[in-house]
Amino acid sequence: MDSNTPQPPAWWRDAVIYQVYIRSFADGSGDGTGDLAGLRARLGHLADLGVDALWITPWYVSPQVDAGYDVADYRAIDPVFGTLDEADAFLAEAHAHGLRVLVDLVPNHTSDQHPWFREALAAGPGSAARGRYHFRPGRGAAGELPPNNWPSVFGGPAWTRVADGEWYLHLFAAAQPDLNWDVSEVREEFASVLRFWLDRGVDGFRIDVAHGLTKDPAYPDIEVGATGLLGAAADEHHPYFDRDATLEIYREWRRIADSYPGERTFVAEAWVSSPDRLARYLAPGLLHTAFNFGLLDCPWEAPRLREVVEQTLRVLAPVDAPPTWVLSNHDVIRHVTRYGRAETSLDDAKRLYGTPSDPELGTRRARAAALLTLGLPGGAYVYQGEELGLEEVEDLPADVLQDPNRFWSGGCGPVRDGCRVPLPWSGHTAPFGFSPDGAAGEPWLPQPAAWKDRSAAAQLADPASVLTLYRTALAVRRGCDDLGEGDLVWLPAAEEVLAFRRGRRTAVVVNTGADPVPLPEHAAVLLASGPLDGPLLPGDTAVWLSL
């Protein structure tokens, strides 16, 4: 090709990526847990939805203490989800549907059932096997105190003592020992794991806890309150989160990805203290994209939302990385419920079961938020069930909860099971098509009876459903050159309103207030998140306009 011919933008620069939380997506085997067979059978839903790619949460062999984020074998599929042959078949089928696939890579820690950790326990203090993890002597006269005061993200100390008296580090559950990334064998192993999946044809990786990995070898105490949501580092001199040394690891990973044909990409899950810190991961030669949690964290208020958008665009421009927009994922409360509350920011302390939430208000705002995120420059993530307008399930009985977060915080911390309930596909009673008819197993978490009206089948037939809105929005976005990557120019608007132009003739207007506002002059309405009131845009409604 002539080098002057303009190249189409790389797919990942404005991709809409659907998060498949595999255990809750679709169950093909009938045991009540989602799996590859279920996912393969439902690929049509995802292709018809109109997303560009899928991110599959960990499907590797795992004791499932933290829903697969505790990996015992990085090169094999957990039998609960299927086999490696099925994963290969799934990759081929997804590609045939035009869907790219990112897999989840969990490099910060292994499972305590990983052969390396078992070997470390058996080998004893001072051994090379222990060197792959962070084993330390304790403090106190008899080493009875943890080596330092680092807390686990899931509550309690980040250290557990083993029979011979040494302690090992686990920033998450005790079943998730942290790897020592200063050891070259650890680096070599993950380079090889990357190649294993790249060779099988994956289009990229979501990097779990990408802000973790390296630790200050002096293991200094931290100040109380130095971490926040899912371990976001509160300052830049943190001994285990967001360290410069971690970024260097990604330089090598990028070289590996770039050595493969096609655009193989990375997205970092990095909970850091500011967008400026996040941009460091996306410097030339490092990662392609990172989850931008700004909107997931932001109250439903135009000035605050605008601040997030402006700040994101400002910090990413110098590194030439496209923004991503995220409203929900498997770690936080579903945004329909968040937006229906009096407090619409993601404040963990307020994430208590039973806090009142108005589902109608929450849904109206979530619909508007969908047009906001899909109308912004760059890419967006859709967390499974978001396209069905699912709310957080807040009344799960205590005996079905599985999130280790809950047990580790003594039952008073945030619970992540409520956003992980298996999807409703069809029918009038549970399991709503999640498992095959007559399946022996019940869904691993019970589905609310009211989900009969939220099933994909019920919504497909309804032009006013959330599913129809997502399908239409994704189709319009795909057909509109102005959306996706490109400039954003703010338009004059009232305090409660976000209004911006995309490209030459498309505008996005979002009214976060309660009262209707006049629409700017336009040639046509491309799509609205709810009924318009003549020339007025009602409260909690968004619109895409052709100018």
Active site residues: 208, 269
Chain residue at closest Cβ approach to ligand GLC: 69
Q: Which residue, 13 or 206, has its beta carbon nearer to ligand GLC?
A: 206
Quick check: 522 and 516 in contact, CB under 8 A?
A: no
Q: Which amino acid type is present at position 18?
A: Y
CA distance linking residue 394 with residue 353, whole number of Å: 6
Minimal distance in Å, beta carbon 94 to ligand GLC? 22
Shortest gap between Cβ of 526 and ligand GLC (angstroms)? 34
CB of 103 to ligand GLC, least distance (A): 14
**What ranges in 126-262 are assigned the alpha helix state H?**
128-131, 184-199, 244-258
**Shortest distance, CB of residue 109 to ligand GLC, whole angstroms?**
7
Cβ within 8 Å of residue 206, ≥6 positions away: 55, 102, 103, 104, 105, 266, 267, 269
Tokens 């399946």 -> residue: 439
CB of residue 437 to ligand GLC, shortest distance in Å: 31
Tokens of 216: 């200050």
Name 472's Cβ contacts closer than 8 Å, sequence gap at least 6.
527
Nearer to ligand GLC, 230 or 473 (CB): 230
Let me know: does 445 contact 422? Beta carbons within 8 Å: yes
Q: Binding residues for ligand GLC, per CB under 6 A? A: 66, 69, 106, 172, 208-209, 230, 269, 330-331
Give 149's Cβ-side CA count (13 Å radius): 8
CB of 30 to ligand GLC, least distance (A): 26
- Nearest CB to ligand GLC, comparing residues 264 and 420: 420
| Residue placing its CB nearer to ligand GLC in the complex, 133 or 425 | 133
DSSP H helical segments within 376-510, as ranges?
Answer: 404-408, 456-460, 466-479
CB 35 within 8 A of CB 29: yes
Closer of 66 and 112 to ligand GLC (Cβ): 66
For residue 459, the 8-state DSSP code is H
Q: What one-character DSSP code corresponds to residue 463?
A: T
Cα three-residue angle 205-280-107, rounded to 5 degrees = 35
